[in-house]
Structure 1
């Protein structure tokens, strides 16, 4: 009887230690340690001048909530180690803008950190739903991004070159929440012979039948934070409007790859499990 009781107590103790370890990891480690997720994209449509170019995608900073200067500074140092040639931001600089409006010191902090990001071929951004929650929020975030040398590509298409007339195409689409996405204008004269990247904040906009994915090679989005708590076989515990269908990781939509970033920040609770903050790094390879 005593041996059986000792065995039961031991199992319960081990289980309690496991649960405590999971909580410690989720609260004290996972939220601070950003992960570089490396993907190699090979295509005959990538010009030789863009061979070996690296594109970094960051999203959902959620500054002024749980995200403070020290944490973001460390994450930006990790980004710098990737040696990205192009940096793309997928929206949501702040969180709960209307509840906790950033003061001038906060604006200076985030501007300085974003300005320090190096990208010889350019820095580009779309706005997220939190950036568009009000006219004041949009103006503030737009100014921060402009002063940080980001070009906002809302409902725009542009070509990125590397010392050659050959290029890849970058398409920015406004957020489906609080925004006004124009699904026709950026696709004018788009060619399926070119390597085309679309960036938008909410991944579920891809459910819009007016978006012809046959012209798109990859789509980059954020918004979901990967669910923050993501359990194998169960999935994201926290889903949100705009990321209900596509909430975590990589998806194949016909021939197009959709990447949903976990982002950098957290909301509601400063906790992550199996959904660490991440920076997506894409290495482009010209395929003969």
Structure 2
């Protein structure tokens, strides 16, 4: 007879309680219809002596994991775009998973005109997520994001340079699960003297990224667990989002931020994992 640990017993008990809650009238309605439609804007300052003085006060907006399709509509995307533009961002990052399933999404041709409306004078940048490669969607995602005015970073670097010659570096890694990530090759582009941001969909890549002179890692993929329970915490975590699930982490000299994303996958619920857009303000200083 298999012996069950106390923690495993508690987890099973809470999961059963969650199932009961979500299948009850009030709990189901909240997790299915209320929390998924919420939108939280989280704001953070990022300070470093490597951030040039001319970048001081610049705003970066990160959004992630839309999973457009049955659970996330175009009108909801339009509201997200309007909310992003209200922040008057200088730079915008999308960290992957645009469409949940390209094979069944009926409105792929109408996505780009909405994303085109995002305004960012110093550039819009994106990377692949696992759903962007899934269902043979690699080329479709590339076309949509290019038409939307985003620069797709696939194991590549982009410098953001101001008129005074000061600059920061953005590195983008291909998806770790379904792409062709050239992690070490791309990270070798990082320079000790240059403030460097890495965009990578799966947050658990941090253990490797921290070995290079990278200052900030921005990821998504986890959905903040999508469903969270007291004591137990997140119960729906995908591969490569088991260790870093939401918010800030420090890994050696690397700062990691995991965005909870906006959409849903697998199950049409969000519970104590509200959708978010993240606003970072860059600051020069110790």
TM-score band w.r.t. shorter chain: 0.7 to 0.9
Q: Distance in 2 between matches of 1:180 and 1:21?
A: 44
**For structure 1, which runs of at least 5 residues remain unmatched after alignment?**
1-15
Q: Distance in 2 between matches of 1:259 and 1:85?
A: 19
* TM-score for the superposition, normalised by structure 1: 0.86
| Contact 2:197-2:218 within 8 A present in 1 as well | yes
| Contact 1:158-1:170 within 8 A present in 2 as well | yes
Q: Distance in 1 between matches of 2:198 and 2:120?
A: 19
Write the deviation string for residues 66-110 of structure 1: whole angstroms up to 9, x where unpaired.
Answer: 100111111222111111110111111111234x1x34xx12321
Task: Tell me what 1:141 maps to.
Answer: 141
Secondary structure, aligned partner of 1:30? helix
Task: Trace 1:24-39 onto structure 2 (pairs within 5 A).
Answer: 24-39=29-44
Q: CA deviation at 1:214?
A: 4.7
Say whether 1:54 aligns with 2:59. Answer: yes
| Contact 1:157-1:187 within 8 A present in 2 as well | no
Write the deviation string for residues 231-270 of structure 1: whole angstroms up to 9, x where unpaired.
Answer: 2432111011121222222211112111111111111332
Task: Tell me what 2:97 maps to.
Answer: 92
Task: Tell me what 1:5 maps to.
Answer: none
Q: Distance in 1 between matches of 2:99 and 2:127?
A: 14
Task: Tell me what 1:3 maps to.
Answer: none
Task: Tell me what 1:168 maps to.
Answer: 168
Write the deviation string for residues 131-150 of structure 1: whole angstroms up to 9, x where unpaired.
Answer: 1124x411111000000000
Task: Tell me what 2:79 maps to.
Answer: 74
Task: Tell me what 1:178 maps to.
Answer: 178
Q: Distance in 1 between matches of 2:205 and 2:175?
A: 8
- How many residues were matched structurally? 264
| Contact 1:262-1:278 within 8 A present in 2 as well | yes
Task: Trace 1:273-284 onto structure 2 (pairs within 5 A).
Answer: 273-284=271-282
Q: Distance in 2 between matches of 1:110 and 1:131?
A: 14
| Contact 1:34-1:78 within 8 A present in 2 as well | no
| Contact 1:214-1:255 within 8 A present in 2 as well | no
Secondary structure, aligned partner of 2:197? strand
Say whether 1:248 aligns with 2:253. Answer: no
Secondary structure, aligned partner of 1:284? strand
Q: CA deviation at 1:277?
A: 0.7
